[in-house]
Amino acid sequence: MNALVEAPSKGLRVRKPADAPPIVLFTGGKGGVGKTLLAANTAIELAKRAHRVLLVDLDLGLADLDVVLKLSARHTIEDALHGRAKLADCVVRGPAGVSVLAAGSGTPGMARLDAGQRAQLFTELFELARGYDVVVADSAAGIGPDVLDACLAADHVFVVTTPEPAALTDAYGLIKALHAQSERDGREVPTPELVVNQSRSVEEAEFTAAKLRSVCERFLARSPRSAGWMPSSPAVARSAASQRPFALDADTGLPWSCLARLATRLERLCLGPAVNALPQGVTGHGR
């Protein structure tokens, strides 16, 4: 293991190998904002574009990526951390060829890993990730050490919120906590980008992002960019209920085009210029 474990007040310090691929983390201060669905569908969209994608469930106490994708994993991250399996043994094949690293659910101790266990997890994850082009991860909600360390380990963090005031407040709280962690550690932590989910229109999404950005600029001197938005959609709700991600369909209207734009942004951030700027037929929706 090549991890550097700091005192409890310090954030994660793990050396990421130079040849490890970028990690994109979907997180959010409040539960129920749709970050798991966004992570799953984004990973599938990237895989459909011929990228090798590892989708990781970092909500270690209440994992549900396997439920969203209707998968059954013989082993989980919990087994790997307890020496019952190697991390690679916990990977299962998901839709569109996505590799899924599942976690368990309902084990309280998994939501309260100590600093050494978290360092072990990310050290092993970096090694596993070498076989992929990009890692897409879904974190727990809140501002606990597990969430903040996942943010510190990621190359790009996307904070998911909805226009709901409570979700906005909690999204700001997460950015504030990450900013405070940066100051405690004495290291620069990139400002997360925003994804506004469950919005009734692009105008509402833009207004929501601008409101959160204004508060962050005023109190934290940080200006989170807008990475994209997703509409409130019966089609998305039906796909979640049926455990069939809407990204598997060729075209589901506005949700699909918004997802395509988000995936293109991730390609540009993590994988160089996008192979195609947008899939054919996508025009005018979203940012």
Q: Classify residue 105 by its DSSP letter.
A: B
Determine the pLDDT at residue 263. 97
Q: Any alpha helices (H) in the chain, and if so which ranges?
A: 35-48, 65-68, 77-81, 115-129, 145-153, 165-185, 202-220, 234-242, 254-270
Determine the pLDDT at residue 181. 93
Determine the pLDDT at residue 109. 86
Domain ranges (residues) in the chain:
25-270
Region 67-77: what's the mean pLDDT?
A: 93
Determine the pLDDT at residue 3. 41
Region 178-186: what's the mean pLDDT?
A: 92
Pairing of strands 91-93, 99-101: antiparallel
Region 19-42: what's the mean pLDDT?
A: 95
Contacts of 210 (CB under 8 A, 6+ apart): none
pLDDT digits (tens, 9 = 90+) for 91-145: 999 999 999 999 988 888 888 898 999 999 999 999 999 999 999 999 999 999 9
Pairwise CA distance, residues 152 & 178, whole Å: 8
Determine the pLDDT at residue 273. 53
Find, among 265, 234, 266, 226, the residue nearest to 252 by Cα: 234
By percentage, how much of the chain surpasses pLDDT 70? 91
Residue 281: is its pLDDT beyond 60?
no
Determine the pLDDT at residue 279. 43
Instruction: Evaluate if pTM is beyond 0.85.
Output: yes
| Band (187; pLDDT cuts 50, 70, 90) | confident
Residue 43: is its pLDDT beyond 80?
yes
Region 161-188: what's the mean pLDDT?
A: 95
Residue 85: is its pLDDT beyond 50?
yes
Phi-psi region of 13 (alpha: psi -120 to 50; beta: other; left: phi over 0): beta
By percentage, how much of the chain surpasses pLDDT 90? 78
How does the average pLDDT of the chain come out, rounded? 89
Residue 8: is its pLDDT beyond 50?
no
CATH architecture label of 25-270: 3-Layer(aba) Sandwich (3.40)
Pairwise CA distance, residues 118 & 109, whole Å: 12
Determine the pLDDT at residue 89. 94
pLDDT digits (tens, 9 = 90+) for 218-274: 999 999 999 999 999 998 999 999 999 999 987 769 999 999 999 999 999 998 754
